[in-house]
Structure 1
Amino acid sequence: MNNSLWLKTAYPRNSYPALNKDISCDVCIIGGGLSGIANAYFLAKEGVDVVLLEKDEILAGATGNSTGKLTLQHDLVYADLIKKFGRDNAKIYFEANREAVLFGKSFAIGDELWDANSVLFSQSKYGTELLRKEKLAYDEIGIAAELGRDSELPLKTEATLTIKDEAQIHPVRFGQHLAQLAVKAGARIFEKTNIRLMDLRKRLLYTNSNNEIQFNKLILCTHYPIEALRGLQILKLSVGRSYLVSTYANMPLQGQYISVDAPKRSARTAFIDGQAHFLLSGEGHRAGVEKETQIHYRTLDSELKYIYQLDPMQEKWSAQDPSTPDLIPYAGPISKSMPYVYMNTGFRKWGLSNSLVCARIISDQIIGRENKASSLYAPDRTGFGSFLIQALKNSGLVLREFSGGHIKRKDSPICTHMGCRTRWNEADETWDCPCHGSRFRKDGSVLEGPATKPLDLG
C-alpha cells in the first residue's frame, strides 16, 4: 500500500496498548483520527473519564492522508450556505471554523503548523464569476478577503480570492501532540482494538478479543458510523475519493491554492525538518467505482514535471471522505431515540478544521455548555427533501452495485458490511466497496469502515 508524506514523517510513535481487559468509562470514543482525539482532549480537560478505541493505529486514516490544510476557506461554500441556511447560519459556520484555526495556531509547536494564505483561483470567466459571488457572500458574512489576480503558481489565473493568515499543518504530528496532551489530561487510548459488536441499549461494546466496555455515552468518530442505519445517515452520506502526490520542492509557497475550474486541483508546500515538499491533489471520483486508478497518479505526476517543473513524485496516496447532502457535517446525537450516542462525520474533505469544530460541539453537549453551532451541525436537522433526494441516489447506487456487482464481478470478494461486491483498486492495492466506502487491505483486513469484519478471500 501507498504511504502518505505525513505518515512517513510522523514523530517517533508513542504506541498505545491494545485493550486486554473489561473496562468502564463515562465516554467511549470509537475512532482515532483527529476528530476522535480532539473529542478525547476536550473532554479529558474537563475531567471527564474518556476512553478512545482505534482498530489500527491513531491518525493512520483520513487525517494521515489529508492535504493538511487548516482553513475556513472550504472551496466555494459560503454563497451556497447563505442560500441553503441563511446569512446567520453561514456566519455561524464561518465563526466555528475560524475558532478551529485559532485553536490550531495556539496549540501547535515547531513545524506542526505554518501560517499560510488560503487562495481560491479561477482560470476561466465562469470561474471568475463564481469567485465574485463567493466574495459577495464573504462580505455579507464578514469574512476579510481580497479579490485579485496575483498567484505564485506557474499557471495563468483569471482571478484569485485570498483569505490571509490561515494555517496549514502536519496533520499527523499535530494529532500526535494532541493525543499526548489528551492522555496527560486523563484520557485512555487503546490501539489495535476492534469493536465486533455493540449493544447500545445496554451501553456495552464487545471487542474482537472478547473484552467488554461499559459506557455512559458513546461517540462514533468513524467515516460511516457503525450504527448509522439507526438514524438513516447511511442513506444521507456519499463517499468521494481523491488522489495526492508530493515531491521535493525549491518553490516554497506563501499560499495554499484550490482551483474552482475543472480539472479540480489543490496545491501547497510543506516544510518538514528543513525540507520543502510540494503537494498536488485532485482527480476525484466516487469511492469504489474505479479499478484502474493508477492513471490518476500518473496524471498528477505528469503535472508535477511539465507544469511545475519539479522532480517526479516521491510519495503518492489517496483519501476518501463522506459528504452530507447540504455541505455541513453531522455532529451530535445520532437519533432522538438514543441521545447518548453521538456521531461526527461528513467532512466533505475539510475534516481538519471541521474535526475540531465537531469535537467542540459534542464535548460542549456532553458537559452541558452552550454551543451556537450545535443545531446547525445536528444530524437530525431539518431539510428532509434534500436528504430524500440524496437517499434515493445513494440507495439506487447501492442496489445497482449489489445486483450488478454480483453478476459482473463474481470473483471479487463480498463486502462484510451489507453484501456488495468489492472492486480491486490497483494503485492502492485495496479492495474498495462502491456502496458505502468500506476498504480492505490486500489480505482482506479492514482498512476503513463501515465494515468491521475482514473479507473472506478463500
Structure 2
Amino acid sequence: MPNSLWLQTAYPREQFPPLTEDLRCDVCIVGGGLSGIANAYFLAKEGKDVVLVEKNTLLNGATGNSTGKLTVQHDLVYAKLLKQFGLDNTKLYYEINEEAVRLGKSIARNDELKVTDSILYSQSRQGTELLKNEMAAYNEIGIPGEFGQNSELPIQIDATITLKDESQIHPVRFGQRLVKLAVEAGARIYENTDVLLMDLKKNLLFLKSENTIQFNELVLCTHYPIEAIRGMQIMKLSVDRSYIVSAVADMALRSQYIAVDSPKRSIRTAQIDGRTFFLLSGESHQAGMIEYTQINYNQLYHELRSVYRLSTITNGWSAQDPQTPDMIPYAGMISSGMPHVYISTGYRKWGLSNSLASARIISDLIIGKTNRASALYSPDRTGFGSFLLQSLKNTGLVVKEFAGGHITRMNAPICTHMGCRTRWNDGDETWDCPCHGSRFRKDGSVLEGPATKPLNL
C-alpha cells in the first residue's frame, strides 16, 4: 500500500498504548488526526480530563496524506460563499481560518512550517474569468490578494491571484508537535483502540478490546462520523479522492499553487532534512467509483517527468475528504437531540486550517465559551429543505451502488457499514466502498470509516 512522503519522513514516532482497561473522562475524542489532536490540546489546556482514542496510529489518515498547505486560500471559495452566506459570514470564514494559520505559525518549530505565498492560477479564458470573479470577492471581503500573472512554473498560465505570507507545513511533524503539547497539557492518548459501539444514552463507548469508556462529552473526529446517520449527516456528505506524487527536486519553489481550471493541479515543494521534494496533486474522483486507480498515479508520474523534468520519483499516495453541500465544514453538536455529542468533518480537502478552526469551535462549546463561528459551522444549519437536491444526489448514489453493486460485483466483499459492495482499488491496494467512503486494507481490516468492522473475505 502506498506511503506518503509525510509519513515516511515523520519524526521518530512516539508510540501510545492500546486501551486495555475501563476509563472515565470528561471528554472522549475519537480520531487521531489533526482535528482530534487539536481538540485534545485545546480542552486539556482548559483543565478538562481528555481521552483520545485512535483505531490505528496517530496522523495516519487524512492529515498524513494531505498536501500540507496551511492557508486561507481554499481554491475558488469566497465568491461562492458570498453568494450563499453573505458578506458577514464569508468574512467570518476567512477570519477564523486566518486565525488558524496564525496559530499554526505560533506552534510550529524548525522545518515543520514554511511561510510562503499561495497562488491560484488559470490556464484558459474561462478560468481567468473565474479568477476575476474571485478577486472581486477578495476585494469585497478585504482579503489582501493580488491579481496578475505571477508564476515560476514551466507551464502556460494566463492569470493568478497571489496571497502573501501563507504557510505550508510538514503535516505529520506539525501534528507530532501538537501531540506533544496535548500530552503535556494532560491529555491521555491511546492508539490501536477500536470503537465498535456507542450507547449515547448512557454516554458509553464499547471497544473492540471489550473495555468501555464512560464520558460526559464525546467528539467524533473520524473523518466520516460513525454516528452520522443519527443526525442525517450521512445524507449530506460526499466523499472525493485525489492523488499526490512526489519527486526529488533541485530547488524549492517560492510559492504554492492550485489551478482553478483543467487540468486541476495542486503544486508545492517541501524541504525535509536538507532535501527538496516537488509535490504534484490532482486526478480527483468520487471515492470508491474507480477500480483501476493506478492510471491516476501514472498520469501524475508522467507529468513529473515530461513537464517538470523530474525523474527521481519518491512517493505516490492518495487522500479522501468529505464535503458538505454548502462547502463549510461541520463542527459542533451532531444534532439538537444529542447536545453532548460533537462532530468535526467535511473539510473539502482544506482540513489543515479548518481542523484547527473547528477544534477551537468545539472546545469553546464544551467549556461554555462563546465562539462567533459556531452558528456558521453548526451541523444543524443544513436542513434537508435547503439542500434537498444534494441530499437526493448522495442518497441516490447509495441506492444505485447498493443495488448495482450486488448485481455487477457479486464477488466483491460487502461493506460492513451499510451493506454496499466494495470495489478493489488497484493503485492503493484497498477495498473502497462507493456508498459512504469506507476503506479496507487488503486483509479486510478497516482503514477508514464509517465502517467499524472488517470485511468478511
2:427 alignment partner, SS class: coil
Task: State the secondary structure of the residue aligned to 2:401.
Answer: helix
How far 1:383 moved relative to its partner?
5.3
What are the Cα deviations for residues 113-144 of structure 1, in whole angstroms up to 9, with x where unaligned?
Answer: 00110000001111111111101101111100
Cα deviation for residue 386 of structure 1 reads 4.1
Runs of at least 5 residues in structure 1 that lack an aligned partner in the other structure: none
Q: Is the contact made by 1:325 and 1:386 (CA closer than 8 Å) also made in structure 2?
A: no
Residue 317 (1) aligns with residue 322 (2): no
Taking the aligned partners of 2:90 and 2:313, their CA distance within structure 1 comes to 38
Alignment gaps of 5+ in structure 2: none
Deviations 1:87-127 (A, max 9, x none): 00000000000000000001100110001100000011111
Counterpart in the other structure of 1:289: 289
Is the CA contact (8 Å cut-off) linking 1:301 and 1:312 kept in structure 2? no
Aligned twin of 1:421: 421
Residue 351 of structure 1: aligned partner: 351
Distance 1:107 1:289 in 2: 38
Counterpart CA distance in 1 for 2:20 and 2:294 is 40
Structure 1 segment 5-154 matched on structure 2, within 5 A: 5-154=5-154
Cα deviation 1:351-386 (Å, max 9, x = unaligned): 000000000000011111111111000000145434
What is the CA deviation profile of residues 34-81 of structure 1, one whole-angstrom value per residue up to 9, with x for unaligned ones? 000000000011111100000000000000000000000000000000
Q: 1-side partners of 2:439 and 2:382: how far apart? A: 31
Whole-Å separation in 2 of the counterparts to 1:62 and 1:394: 21
What is the identity, as a one-letter code, of the residue corresponding to 2:164? K
- In the TM superposition, 1:363-378 aligns within 5 A as 363-378=363-378
Alpha-carbon shift at residue 263 of structure 1 (Å): 1.4
Q: In structure 2, give the amino acid aligned to 1:416.
A: T
Q: Indicate the residue corresponding to 1:165 in structure 2.
A: 165
Q: For the residues of structure 2 that align with 1:324 and 1:26, how far apart are their CA atoms?
A: 29
Query: Is contact 1:247-1:314 (8 Å) kept?
Result: yes
TM-score by length of 1: 0.99
Q: How many residues align?
A: 457
Report the RMSD for the aligned CA atoms in angstroms. 0.7
Once residues 383 and 442 of structure 1 are traced to their aligned partners in structure 2, the CA distance between those partners, rounded to angstroms, is 38
Paired position in structure 2 for 1:3: 3
Deviation beyond 4 Å, 4+ runs, structure 1: none
| Partners of 1:68 and 1:90 in 2: CA distance | 23
The residue number in structure 1 matching 2:260 is 260
Instruction: Tell me the secondary structure at the aligned position of residue 267 of structure 2.
Output: strand
Aligned counterparts of 1:115 and 1:385: Cα–Cα separation in 2: 42
Q: CA deviation at 1:391?
A: 1.3
TM-score for both structures, normalised by structure 2 = 0.99
Q: Deviations over 1:139-170 (max 9, x none)?
A: 11110010011201101111000000000000
SS at match of 1:380: helix
Q: Contact 2:44 / 2:50 at 8 angstroms: preserved in 1? A: yes
Tell me which amino acid in the other structure corresponds to 2:200.
L
Counterpart AA for 2:300:
L
Q: Distance in 1 between matches of 2:399 and 2:228?
A: 18
CA distance in 1 between counterparts of 2:348 and 2:246 reads 22
Write the letter of the residue equivalent to 2:53: L
Query: Does the 8 Å CA contact 1:100/1:353 hold for their aligned counterparts?
Result: yes
Counterpart in the other structure of 1:299: 299
Distance 1:382-1:401 versus aligned 2 partners, 3 A rule:
closer
Distance in 1 (alpha carbons) for counterparts of 2:286 and 2:312: 26
Residue identity (%):
68
In the alignment, what sits opposite 1:219? 219
* Structure 1 residue 435 displacement after superposition: 0.1
Distance verdict in 2 for CA 1:225–1:382, change over 3 Å: closer
Change in 2 beyond 3 A, CA 1:383/1:210: closer
1:287-313 superposed Cα distances (whole Å, 9 cap, x missing partner): 000000000000000000111111142
Alpha-carbon separation, structure 1, partners of 2:454 and 2:384: 34
